[in-house]
Amino acid sequence: MSEQRPYDFLTGVIVPFWTPVHASGQLDFAGTRGMVDYLADTGAVRSIFGRSGMGKWHSFTMEEAKQFTDVLVPACRKRNLGVLIGAMGECLGRNRGERPDPLRYTEQSIELVNYAQKAGADAAVLIIPDMLPANEQPPAEVVWRYYKTVHDATRLPLVLYQPGGTDTAYQLTPELMRRLVSLPRIAGLKLSTSKEEVFAPIADVVRGTGFALIAGDEAFYLRALELGACGVIGGGCMIWPEVLWAVGYYYRRGKLKQAQQAQETVRQLEALHRGKDSCVLWKQVMIANGGKFQPYDRSGTPPYPKETVTQALQEWKRLTAPYRRLCRAQRARAKVA
């Protein structure tokens, strides 16, 4: 295994980018640049993960995936942010329970990984392929074969992604993780769970290897750090990155009480959008806070009333204020140093 792992761009706060779109659902490239600028200005974000789960990766055609990559990568580079590209093949019927052709899906994944590399991305992200039929072979073998095939046909670092709700039969086990970590360009994993009994066994496998284990549930971030995680990717990274940055900042300095307080603030913030489409509501809050993009999402949810947005903005400001001040102060000190 490479001693270069974990890569710096796979540490800290990594944003699962909420794809900016027009009211028609078409990709909004000006909004993409505006959203990158908004996130960079927080000073808390290390990298952007484009074509993410919350960014509705499965709604992208191959052409859209390439066009989006061509816009997102230079926008991130301009602001000195790392950039990860979701390189999964087309899966347009995922919400209808349709399964893509395994060979075509794998070939498309290879094509998009190579495209991301040529565009200048730092890594490609590949979701656990539970949409591929197992037929008569063990699902673990489907997962292994997919990742091994893509790995051997590409040269870009690859980040695995196990979302919450992944088919249990396809989920990573310690045995499968040991096989995958043996592949030198398998650089990291976003593991979306709040269950220690799921996270800890994988953490035990990769501990000391330099592999980048990334918490995929921001409410579990502090405990994930204690178990060996090096970063976080979750919806909160979009809208309260400074609070999650503070969890890591305090943890690394041994200030566990403050880290716990920041983690509790994350839970309070998550409660604000319960029962609502968070991608739409929080885009509206970000716009009200100066973001230059539109309040639409491919979910089709219409924008929320002004009163709802104003209330969420006020609570967001109240809960995040101390962490935004802390982040700005540390950024100012770093510039002086």
Query: Could you give the percent of the chain with pLDDT greater than 70?
Result: 97
Q: What 3-state DSSP class applies to 14?
A: strand
One-letter amino acid identity for 335? K
Read out DSSP for 12-32? EEEEE----B-TTS-B-HHHH
* Close Cβ partners of 97 (under 8 Å, ≥ 6 residues apart): none
For residue 3, what pLDDT is reported?
Answer: 42
Reported as a single tens digit per residue, the pLDDT across 173-224 is: 999 999 999 999 999 999 999 999 999 999 999 998 889 999 999 999 999 9
**pLDDT value at residue 336:** 57
Higher pLDDT, 249 or 334: 249
Check residue 135 and give its pLDDT.
87
Host domain of residue 165: 8-263
State if pTM tops 0.75. Answer: yes
pLDDT of residue 8: 93
Residue 80 domain flag: yes
User: Which residues touch 138 (CB under 8 Å, ≥6 apart)?
Assistant: none
Looking at the predicted structure, is the pLDDT value of residue 169 above 70?
yes
Residue 320 domain-assigned? no
Distances (CA, A) of 146 to 35, 86, 137, 319: 33, 15, 13, 43
Asked whether residue 254 is assigned to any structural domain, the reply reads: yes
Report which of residues 305 and 135 the model is more confident about: 305
| Tally of domains within the chain | 1
Q: Give the span between the Cα atoms of 62 and 75, in whole angstroms.
A: 20
Identify the CATH number of the domain in which residue 27 sits. 3.20.20.70
Is residue 295 in some structural domain?
no
Name the average pLDDT for the chain: 95
Asked if the structure places residue 279 within a domain, the reply is no
Task: Measure the CA–CA gap between 314 and 319, rounded to whole angstroms.
Answer: 9
pLDDT tops 60 at residue 93: yes
